[in-house]
Structure 1
Amino acid sequence: MHNDIGESADGSEVARGRGGGQAGIVDELTALCARLPAGSALPSTRELQRRHRASALTVQRALAAVATRGLLVTMPGRGSVVARPPASRSTDLSWQTAVLGARDDLPHDMTELYSPVPDGVLDLASAYLDPAAQPVGLLAAAAARAARRPGAWDRTPVAGLPDLRGLIAGLVSPSHTASDVLVTSGGQAALALVFRALGRPGEALAVEHTTYPGALAAARAAGLVPVPVPADAAGVRPDDLADVLGRSGARLVYLQPRHANPTGAVLAPDRRPAVLAALRDHRAFCVEDDWVAPLDLTAVSPPPLAAADPDGHVVHVLSLSKSVSPGLRIAAVSARGPVAARLARVRITDDLFVAPVLQQTAVELLSTPGWRRHLASLRRVLLARRAALLAAIARALPTLAPPQPPSGGVHVWLPLPPGADDRLVTAAARRAGVAVGPGSAYTVGEAVAPHLRLTYSRTPGEGLVAAVDRLAAVLSDG
């Protein structure tokens, strides 16, 4: 069969066949669709009949065959044109997490994850501030004033000092009052208290699939059964939360709406009403862990869920340790209604009350003008460290750069190459002098993809760069 060159309807050159029947027409149209831009006009039915000496029926069959492969479409008044390629659809396997439930090997012992890092090891595992970033001068002055206060060494109300409770209520929302607040010895103690008070052994606790392992340990110590809920960069998915609440019968939910540990996700404003609606519809409580409330870095996060919940579904937990110092073991639980009385009753069996001198230190710290200056300085420090860490990742591990850098908090959730074992990578990194968090320690069910948690609050910028270089060497060694 001879070929010569003709023109298509848009003027481009095409191979003109003589004969060949339906197969020849299909071949020509397929070649055109592969070469021409989407929307380009293809030869008309009459032109194809003439070129291939074929009947109208043969041409129509050939056009239909190519159309079924998604290569062309017929436009009224225009004839056939090259089809646009189908829009790429990202794979979403996260729905499986809610169906599969929690893993059987969730860690019970938190000792390994939270042991201090040895000297000489670059610490990208701890979320506490290094001494250089802590307001040591402010703390020393506040503690000195607190120690001289009347009653600093005496007993105090179980719920905490009224002044401190009032200051913390103002951090939660304008509508919260001191009577809503119960002071505790740190955020971990607050979570343990809430899970014991609001859950019964054997009951389900709905949690984001990737979450804080300290919360999982406290929940399991209270006898609760974690049930994973799919979440993404915009936080927990309200429809999936409602589905899990309905299927599991859970009446208690644990969420981190602001700079979630470890992913850094912030619950999107348009999801918040639906989350609150799911709680109302299923008559459930939500433990809102606001662990880094003042640490917005590049964008202002929405107010706490508790601020939009007048009906007492949200029990808010706020901690000062991450933004001040690990030694300031002060946190608070804010709750409304009968649940507040239950929390106070259960809490008294723990430690009666938080040392008044420590509470008064927090009052002095939060009341001084230096507190706001400290937060502004701390945000600048963390922003610089975050930039150094992300730049080092982009340089040394360009294919693993996180798709959405965190807008606040202290963590980067680093994807690993497909098939990598995060625990083996973590162990190898430790041998190379870098401490990181294995992603599987933060997942309730099977991980969709392997990750590491890298923290930038404990190590200055040059240390973060060196740590990424060592981590890159570990990954290159396989």
Structure 2
Amino acid sequence: MWKPDRQVKKPIYEQIADHLEQRISYGEFPPGSLLPSERKLAEQLGVNRSTVILAFAELRAMGIIESRTGSGTRVSTSKWEATPKHTPNWSRYAEGGSFLPNLPFMRKIRESLAQQPSLIDMASGELAADLAPIDEITALMGEHRYTSYLGYDNPQGYTPLREALVSHLERQRGIRTTESSILITSGSQQSLYLITQCLLSPGDAVAIEDPSYCYSLPLFQSAGLRLFRLPVDQYGARSEDIRSLYKKHRIKMVFLNPNFQNPTGSVPTAERRNQLLAAASELGLPIVEDDPFSLTAYENSPPPPLKSMDPLGSILYIGSFSKIAASGLRIGWMVAPNAIVERLADARQQMDFGLSVIPQQVAAQFLNSAYFDPHLNRLRMQLQFKRDLLIEALRKELPGLITFSVPQGGLHLWCKLVPEVHDGKLLDEAIRKGIVFVPGSVYGSESGYVRFTFARARAEEIAPGVAKFAEALRSLLNTAQ
């Protein structure tokens, strides 16, 4: 993001005015479009609001922008003899369309992290650089010559990668499949997008866990689906709730994240798994099983996926490299009946003609290499270490103010605040103190829950981050009194 240069003689307000004039001339802000507010622009640029006021005054004097009380500041429609009828109403386009924007809290978190790199990030659900297999992948890329063909690949995915996944899924997850039943995607969200767009229709009823990360994904609402809640207890969703929703609403699909569920960290018992599968087969109801975290199990063997116990083919199984290796590879997969794989591969080909073959080759080499298992072992130990640091800090800084269950895998800690606190105010105050987290309401929860992710922050940031959160919480509680 551009920032004014404080080392040059040119006044900062003039630098800002020149920068905005350039963005306007490039069409980034067309005639009639709304500019950021003075306060927001000042925060973005790290200057006083009075400096932005001077910059706006400079642009107004040149006739480039116009300000109206209560309507904000807009780019002039007459500076270059442009008239409104010849200028597309880009604001209307941006607000239209059927695909909804991210939730306001998620946009605020993303914008805050972009504007304030010093924020301690306990919100982003991805691995930090020190947890990713960077050295291993660098070594593999030096050892192997990658494809000389850089055209479009098989829309179902790079065949050697699908073959490597057949072996990986049987060895690590107890899932027996074939390469023809695997679709390579750019990650779990693309898998979910393809399912909601191609296998369901607007108005269809589906069941998702409560709380669930699915509530943070507007793609379900964008597809016009009706969402019904499956309460999650310490062992996940219950089969009787699935039967009840099917009876009342004729749900057509169930979306589950059973193992180290996001955000609660719950894991179903063997009995609970059998009950879920029995309900699916009894009702002829497909279950979409998203399984990004199982291989992060800290001490015991990874819990088995529902798919490994699924002789009838009721489960669409989704996996990803994002939580166990590197989100930047953009590699995910889906195991499904061949007819479904062909349908979704056809749709994905219409979107992007298939994924880049190079990261698929890297992923295939990594899965087949001697590096993979040692990386998983190191990842588990480091995640457990960070989890313990987070728990220790919470117990020290917030005794009596927070409760949680200790997860045995995954990247997240789901916490209940004992006092009543407004989600938005707590997030704003925490950002001011220097830490960002995800409010529980993002996942469909009632106000008063928070999700801390301990995989993104550096180990030495975790205790200071919790101290900043505790300071923000106590500040709000003192204000309320």
Normalising TM by the smaller chain, what interval? 0.7 to 0.9
**Residue aligned with 1:253, SS:** strand
Q: Which residue does 1:164 correspond to in 2?
A: 161
Q: Is contact 2:103–2:218 with CA below 8 Å preserved after alignment?
A: yes
Relative to the length of structure 2, the TM-score reads 0.73
- Shift of residue 124, structure 1, vs aligned partner: 0.4
Q: Which residue does 1:33 correspond to in 2?
A: none
In 2, Cα distance between equivalents of 1:252 and 1:114: 31
In 1, Cα distance between equivalents of 2:295 and 2:149: 27
| Cα distance change of structure 1 residues 426 and 110 upon mapping to structure 2, 3 Å threshold | closer
- Shift of residue 211, structure 1, vs aligned partner: 0.6
In 1, Cα distance between equivalents of 2:379 and 2:362: 19
In 2, Cα distance between equivalents of 1:432 and 1:263: 26
**2:454 alignment partner, one of 453, 456, 474:** 456
Q: Is contact 1:106–1:441 with CA below 8 Å preserved after alignment?
A: no
Deviations, residues 116-159 of structure 1 (Å, cap 9, x unaligned): 4531110100111111221111122334456x233452321111
| Cα distance change of structure 1 residues 287 and 313 upon mapping to structure 2, 3 Å threshold | same
Q: Which residue does 1:421 correspond to in 2?
A: 422
**Residue aligned with 1:362, SS:** helix
Q: Name the % identity.
A: 30
- Bigger shift: 106-115 or 392-401? 106-115
Q: Which residue does 1:261 correspond to in 2?
A: 262
**1:123 alignment partner, one of 121, 124, 144:** 121
**Residue aligned with 1:327, SS:** helix
Code of the aligned partner of 1:406: P
Alignment of 1:43-442 (within 5 A): 107=103, 111-114=107-110, 116=113, 118-145=116-143, 148-151=145-148, 153-169=150-166, 170-171=168-169, 172-213=173-214, 216-442=217-443
In 1, Cα distance between equivalents of 2:203 and 2:258: 26
| Cα distance change of structure 1 residues 110 and 145 upon mapping to structure 2, 3 Å threshold | farther
Deviations, residues 268-309 of structure 1 (Å, cap 9, x unaligned): 221111111211222211111111231111333421111111
Code of the aligned partner of 2:131: A
Q: Which residue does 2:473 correspond to in 1?
A: 475
Q: Is contact 1:183–1:330 with CA below 8 Å preserved after alignment?
A: yes
- Shift of residue 106, structure 1, vs aligned partner: 9.5
Q: Is contact 2:317–2:334 with CA below 8 Å preserved after alignment?
A: yes
Deviations, residues 299-330 of structure 1 (Å, cap 9, x unaligned): 33421111111222110110101221221100
**Residue aligned with 1:452, SS:** strand
Q: Which residue does 1:69 correspond to in 2?
A: none
Provide structure 2 residue ranges, at least 5 long, that are not aligned to the other structure. 1-100
**Residue aligned with 2:421, SS:** coil
Code of the aligned partner of 2:470: A
In 2, Cα distance between equivalents of 1:306 and 1:396: 41
Q: Is contact 2:403–2:418 with CA below 8 Å preserved after alignment?
A: no
In 2, Cα distance between equivalents of 1:345 and 1:194: 12
| Cα distance change of structure 1 residues 414 and 344 upon mapping to structure 2, 3 Å threshold | same
- Bigger shift: 266-275 or 164-173? 164-173
Q: Which residue does 1:4 correspond to in 2?
A: none
Q: Is contact 1:139–1:365 with CA below 8 Å preserved after alignment?
A: yes
- Shift of residue 430, structure 1, vs aligned partner: 0.8
Q: Which residue does 1:91 correspond to in 2?
A: none
In 1, Cα distance between equivalents of 2:108 and 2:189: 16
Q: Is contact 1:163–1:363 with CA below 8 Å preserved after alignment?
A: yes
Q: Which residue does 1:17 correspond to in 2?
A: none
Q: Is contact 1:287–1:314 with CA below 8 Å preserved after alignment?
A: yes
- Shift of residue 471, structure 1, vs aligned partner: 1.1
In 2, Cα distance between equivalents of 1:425 and 1:182: 41
In 1, Cα distance between equivalents of 2:242 and 2:102: 21
In 2, Cα distance between equivalents of 1:415 and 1:187: 27
Q: Is contact 2:152–2:353 with CA below 8 Å preserved after alignment?
A: no
- Shift of residue 229, structure 1, vs aligned partner: 1.0
**Residue aligned with 2:329, SS:** coil
- Shift of residue 214, structure 1, vs aligned partner: 6.8
Code of the aligned partner of 1:133: L
Code of the aligned partner of 1:107: L
Relative to the length of structure 1, the TM-score reads 0.73
**Residue aligned with 1:413, SS:** strand
Deviations, residues 396-432 of structure 1 (Å, cap 9, x unaligned): 1122453420110000011112421122211111110
Superposed CA RMSD in Å reads 2.1
| Cα distance change of structure 1 residues 351 and 109 upon mapping to structure 2, 3 Å threshold | farther
| Cα distance change of structure 1 residues 195 and 401 upon mapping to structure 2, 3 Å threshold | same
- Bigger shift: 397-406 or 153-162? 397-406
**Residue aligned with 1:369, SS:** coil
- Shift of residue 351, structure 1, vs aligned partner: 1.4
Provide structure 1 residue ranges, at least 5 long, that are not aligned to the other structure. 1-104
